[in-house]
Structure 1
Amino acid sequence: MIARKYILLSRTLIWAGIIFFLCAIPSSSIPDPKLNIPHLDKVVHFGMFFIMSIFLCSELRYQTNLSPRACYPIAIGFSFVYGGLIEILQYSCFHRGAEWWDLIADILGGVAGCLLYPTAKKYKDKLIARFWKKN
């Protein structure tokens, strides 16, 4: 059986890879979703880093036994550093536009994920308890 710590680490690394891939592909290769949502790309950045920060908080809590409040600065700092690195790479290597607003959306997604992490964990724990009760 694969240890839980490796599953959590793999999940986080795979998600970081998905974010990197989506931000690295040429803009011309991204299909137009035909949605009339203003600043849709900012919403996507927010969502990607929202999920990433929940994954990071979960992993940090399990791997290090840090309190949730101690995990938040790490997850938000990661959102800032990783989001900033992606924007720099988009500008210099991927020939895409780099935007400060994308980085701000990344950071805000990280903050929102940290703020909602306790609620997400509570609902996940209830769901798992209900599942195990049936079996």
Structure 2
Amino acid sequence: MKTIRYYIPAIVWLFFILVMCTLPGKDIPHEGWMERIHMDKIVHFGLFGGMVFFLCLGVYWHKGRFSATTLFMFVVFAALYGLSIEYIQKYMTVDRSFDMTDAAADALGAIAGVWIFRLFRRWFLKPGTNNAIK
């Protein structure tokens, strides 16, 4: 049970994504300028980039290192989670629909999450320590 504390930010973020992506369509702002810049794609990109970032951070706090395979699995998990949410939006929510471009933004955000974590680790985490939550 002690291990879970490393992953609390990622778990909270996963639930946050689920809640935000299953809100009824009427609860989502629909401003003209937001649609012109595809704000929903930017939001999906950020949400799923954040998911991978927090998963990487949890593994780093827990183990102090991780492999390329772990990073790849996080990206695959995030992309599949995003695709699953699109189906949930299609079949189980009010005024929401399946959008493959949202799923693509989720996958691209997940890939970006790996890069952001690597930069964060280089800039802010001390080398040689796992900066773990004690």
Q: Aligned partners of 2:85 and 2:91: how far apart in 1?
A: 10
Tell me the SS of whatever aligns to 2:125.
helix
1:109 aligns with 2:109: yes
How far the C-alpha of 1:64 sits from its partner, in A, is 4.9
Q: Aligned partners of 1:10 and 1:34: how far apart in 2?
A: 36
Structure 2 vs 1, CA of residues 74 and 65 (structure 1 numbering), >3 Å: closer, same or farther?
farther
Task: Give the letter aligned to residue 87 of structure 1.
Answer: E
Structure 2, unaligned runs of 5 or more: 127-134
Q: Aligned partners of 1:53 and 1:61: how far apart in 2?
A: 12
Tell me the SS of whatever aligns to 1:9.
helix
Kindly report the root-mean-square deviation, in angstroms, between the aligned alpha carbons of the 2 structures: 2.3
| TM-score scaled by length of structure 2 | 0.80
Q: Aligned partners of 1:66 and 1:86: how far apart in 2?
A: 30
Q: Aligned partners of 1:7 and 1:30: how far apart in 2?
A: 32
Contact 1:5/1:62, CA 8 A, preserved across alignment: no
Percent identity, aligned pairs only, is 27
Structure 1, unaligned runs of 5 or more: 127-135
Contact 1:11/1:55, CA 8 A, preserved across alignment: yes
Contact 1:5/1:59, CA 8 A, preserved across alignment: no
2:29 aligned residue: 31
Task: Give the letter aligned to residue 19 of structure 1.
Answer: I
If asked which structure has higher relative contact order (CA below 8 Å, sep 6+), I would say 2
